[in-house]
Chains A and B, each alone.
Chain A
Amino acid sequence: MRPKLTLLSDEIIARILEEAYELLLKPGIKVQNEEARELLAKAGAKIDPETHVAQIPASLVHKALESVPREFYLYDYDGNPTVHYGGDSVHFDPGSSGIAMLNAETLEHDTTETEHLIRLLKVAEQLSQYDAQSTAVICHDVPKEIQDSYRLYLVLLHSKKPIVTGAFTNKTVQEMIDMLAIFAGSKEAASKKPRAIFDVCPAPPLIWSNFGAGNLIALARAGIPAEIVSVPLSGAAAPVTMLGTVTQHTAECFAGIVIHQLAHAGSPIVWGGAAAIFDMRKGATPMGAVETAMLDCSYAQVAKTLNMPTHTYLGATDSKLVDAQAGLESGISAMVGALSGINMISGSGMLDFLACHSAEKLVIDAEGIAMAKRMIGGVKLHTDTLATGFYDDKINFKGGDFLKQKVTMQLFREEQHLPSSVIDRDSTRAWKAAGSLDAFGRAKLRVNELLASYKRPEIDPEKLSRLHAFTLDLAKKAGIEELPRLEDYQPA
């Protein structure tokens, strides 16, 4: 009895697909990568040599949808398949690529450096609600040229979980694929049991940039999973209507999948995005808006009719602090994402339109995720009789009767999620005795506990030193002689 949220009728979905095919022809898709244009032209798309706009016939989409995998896994360091892309599986990971981090003491948004990413990694590594890590923030203490690969280096050092990441250029995507190959043993092994998935963004409306399309091609050829993060903004970079926005999103995904499958048929790719409405008062892109969640639920429903793996950005907030707004926007949107059966939901921990991360928010969001996962766990049938079997001859009409039943001990954990200390269910007395803390205060304590209990996972030292040498080499080419010193890893 798993609950599901759907917002679109079959009839509307059919119309979305139909109009998306029309958009691929008129106005077409602007493809700013030469190799992608060549692939498309060779397959029969018409390309305008001046504007680089491609008219992609529906037949190419159909063919791509035939070869694309319907499901695949991401693997942890030990080779266990822990993230399932496909069907209605639901996973969460912290949001990616923040540029600031909330300082829990000063409440300032500090510019992120190595120490901030490590802090987030240590916290997320120990929270079971996060099935994958992400390259959560940019480290501004290393040169721009290596900021994407350096993040991946830090995650590989500090985590065993699968990784949601992304490259910033067509050159660095290759470097990052090489890093994954070092850990997997070879490029083939990295593709056979992929550890990471790369977010790749088209530019709205209807543009596949040189870098976006270039990444699609590189990932397809390497057999490393790609995740399309289409970001239509309703009313600004997409039609104002939700249905118009979802249709544009569909066309952008279609074009991406075609380019990707033309580069290498059968490579894994995900139907994803970070759609949002455009706030008409502030000119902002609210990630916590209910309409944003509705857009995501809708495009996921489109993907599911095509049997595609899904991704979205939910569980984030636009608030600048970990406050009531952060809680309600993150909690509600995480719940919508889970009820929509979206395979990977990115965004937890993030404030301020995905610009700012917070470790404290990450531990609070983990509770929201636990609630959402409990919700989709549904109401379960555990016993032969629903109730009558509980009333045996030991019942003596006392309130504690059921506490004495073995079945209570056996089943209470399956029926109830047991929250962490972040959630307050104390008596007023006990709450006062513990310092009268609010959720943020309790989250600060929990973060400190997690930072104290973190132990860097045991990773083959040989792989580590090869990874370090590789990254150091990139750093030297980018003009620095040393990588930032790390507390938990001193290279030989």
Chain B
Amino acid sequence: MSEELFKQMAQSIIDGDSDLSVELAKKAIEINMHPLEAITKGFVVGVNYIGDQFGAGEAFLPELVMAGEAMKAAVATLEPELLKLGSARETMGRVVLATVEGDIHEIGKTLVGTMLSASGFEVTDLGVDQPADKIIGKALEIDAHIIGMSALLTTTMVRQREVIEELDKEGLRPRIKVMVGGAPITRDWFQKIKADGYSEDAVGAVKIAKELVGKADQ
């Protein structure tokens, strides 16, 4: 019975069907399935599958995003139940995302946010054109584990370094880890500005984020 339900849950995520994933989450509650079990044995399997498919070029961005949305919807349905049980889902970590000051290109960053949420991170997405003090302020406010910054332009990617320098000045690293991404970001750049992680795509970003919070195996 449970096995069948887990399969349906994973499939609802793969199909990006938020209505169905919510319905299945409710069903899990009805039959007294532990919400964490529903997430880890059901829904997460679907997210991982679609992530792998995307990485292999078999799935496409709309499918990836819709899977993430369906995952978010299912988790939102299960969360009140988790609270009741007093065992709130252990978050993978808190992440502040922003596109740096002067840059308004955020599709990649939004995708990273969706995938991180779907993978169990608590994501605060500040949006575009965010100055260093705002990003750092928000990170301190929510006690973030990771700051993730995107930039599309070679003229704005230098702002990523400013944020890192500011964090170092305040002695906030390694408490807060920094991930960078965006079209012009190379491994060289990532090393030069001494960031903690970088990825070329949203699926890779999840892997890096897990490594940065010491949960690579989850």
Contact = CB atoms under 8 A, between A and B. Distances in A.
Interface of A: 398-400, 403-404, 406, 408-409, 412, 418, 421, 427, 429-430
Nearest to A401: B110
Nearest to B185: A429
B107 A403 contact: yes
B111 A427 contact: no
B65 interface: yes
21 contacts: A398-B110, A399-B105, A399-B106, A399-B107, A400-B65, A400-B114, A403-B61, A403-B62, A403-B107, A403-B110, A403-B111, A404-B65, A404-B66, A404-B114, A406-B66, A408-B66, A409-B62, A409-B63, A418-B60, A421-B57, A427-B200
B69 interface: yes
B16 interface: yes
B87 interface: no
Contacts of A400: 65, 106-107, 110-111, 114
Given A403-B65, A404-B69, A429-B186, A398 B106 contact: yes
Nearest to B19: A406
B183 interface: yes
Nearest to A416: B60
Interface in B80-112: 105-107, 110-111
Contacts of A398: 106, 110, 127
Can you list the 4 inter-chain pairs with the closest CB atoms, starting with the nearest? A400-B110, A409-B62, A399-B107, A403-B65
B16 A409 contact: yes
Nearest to B99: A399
Contacts, number: 40
Interface of B: 16, 57, 60-63, 65-66, 69, 105-107, 110-111, 114, 127, 183, 186, 200
Contacts of A429: 186, 200
B57 A430 contact: no
Nearest to B182: A427
Contacts of A408: 62, 66
A399 B110 CA distance: 8
B172 to A, nearest CB: 28
A429 B184 CA distance: 8
A398 B62 CA distance: 15
A419 B94 CA distance: 38
A406 B70 CA distance: 11
Given A398-B106, A399-B106, A427-B200, A406 B65 contact: no
Q: Which of A398, A412, A421 has the most CB of B within 10 A?
A: A398
A269 B183 CA distance: 55
B105 A409 contact: no
Given A400-B110, A409-B66, A418-B60, 13 more contacts: A398-B106, A398-B110, A400-B107, A403-B107, A403-B111, A404-B65, A404-B69, A406-B16, A406-B66, A408-B66, A412-B60, A421-B57, A429-B186
A200 B182 CA distance: 57
Nearest to B65: A403
Nearest to A420: B57
A412 B66 CA distance: 13
Contacts of B16: 406, 409
Contacts of A399: 105-107, 110
A409 B114 CA distance: 16
Contacts of B57: 421
A158 to B, nearest CB: 27
Contacts of A430: 200
Contacts of A406: 16, 66
Contacts of A403: 61-62, 65, 107, 110-111
Nearest to A433: B200
B130 to A, nearest CB: 14
A36 to B, nearest CB: 55
Nearest to A396: B127
A77 to B, nearest CB: 28
Contacts of B107: 399-400, 403
A404 B110 CA distance: 11
A88 B186 CA distance: 49
B72 to A, nearest CB: 10
A400 B183 CA distance: 16
Contacts of B114: 400, 404
A414 B107 CA distance: 22
Nearest to B16: A409
A398 B61 CA distance: 16
Q: Which of A408, A409, A421 has the most CB of B within 10 A?
A: A409
B102 to A, nearest CB: 16
A403 B68 CA distance: 11
A273 B63 CA distance: 45
A243 to B, nearest CB: 48
B13 to A, nearest CB: 13
